[in-house]
A and B are shown apart, each in its own frame.
Chain A
Amino acid sequence: MAPEAVLSHLHRADGSATYTYNGYSIIGAVNGPIEVQRRDEMPEEATVEVNVRPAVGVGSPKERHLETLLHRTLQSIILTRSIPRTLVQITLQVRSLPADDTSTGVNTSLTLLPHLLHTSILALLSASIPLSTTLTAIPVAIPSSSKSAPLVSPTANDLLRAKPLRSIHVFAFSGDRKLLLNESDGAFSYEEWDEAYEAAEEVCCREGGVRLGEGMDVDMDVDMDGEGKVANLEAWLREVVKEKVGREQRWRVAT
């Protein structure tokens, strides 16, 4: 199943998105460019503020950690220099987590991270904040038994069944196939990391990089492989945007 995304559904925020996938449901909102507080103002750049709000309770160090990771990644793709002395405020409200989230025994901030990244990119696209590129992200888990292949984008259930796990990795790629973020947890060798990296790249990016004009006007092929997972997240993102543009341009074809 491809992730589900609803864009621009909130009325007050400048951009918003609800992202649902594998039991994760996150609401993201972007306000900006808006007025920045004097103490955060930067003369030649926009200030990026990320707020992660857990489904239950108020933010803890885990959320602060996620915010730092998101902040660094998103700041590198927002064209902050084109909107200097303003604030881009990204708020992510976790709505629900998979029921087995806490019992998988893996670092839950890592399994949540790719979904937060996807929600924020969707909300940023909805707010039409100038970006240098898009991003896609994915978790990869490596089970302890040496025989089994890395689990790409595992569900909480997959993780439970594959226990014990040796390591878990999160990769985020830009639209031009460059690695934007990598967070890994556990013990792993270089070879294992390489394997995980390749598997993640395969799922995130389209073969041969992004090119305008090729296959753009034909139906996007968000094909599913045997396990019913998205074959390509880049294509999925394009499909979501295509829907958004289609809705905006509705009036052109209406009678």
Chain B
Amino acid sequence: MEKKTVDLSLLDGVLEEYAPVKGSLITILQHTQDIYGYLPKEAIELISDKTGIATSEIMGVGTFYTQFRFEPVGKYLIMLCQGTACHVNSSELILQTIKDELGIEDGQTTEDGLFSLKCVACLGCCSLSPVMMINEDTYGSLTPDKTKKILKELREAAL
């Protein structure tokens, strides 16, 4: 996906609120990602300027936590749960279905920029396993067919 030019002014509010508060780096990065969908290099450099935290530290933190991304993601971010209950209830089949349907691997985005796939730690909806979250919505008791249907609906909704 093509990266758009990064409008750094969008960060003004976040930095004004959190830059003076010690220990806020993760919070700032979370807000930054909410704004841009990922952590652009330019934003990290600005955060470094405003907080006095070295870019090497910021990148160290950013690359430590799985939440942070350094590339833009698709319109729909599929987060497939890798928890124990999901594993026991064959989440592997769901993963395979998504890969087959979208032609992408874990961590990749479809060429049309619609879907990104990310395998994530337990989402805590174990009773509905296997489970995935797409953006803010959780989908449970998945079967390969149900998964295909969900993806199809989302694709159609996007068009």
Q: Does chain A bind chain B?
A: no
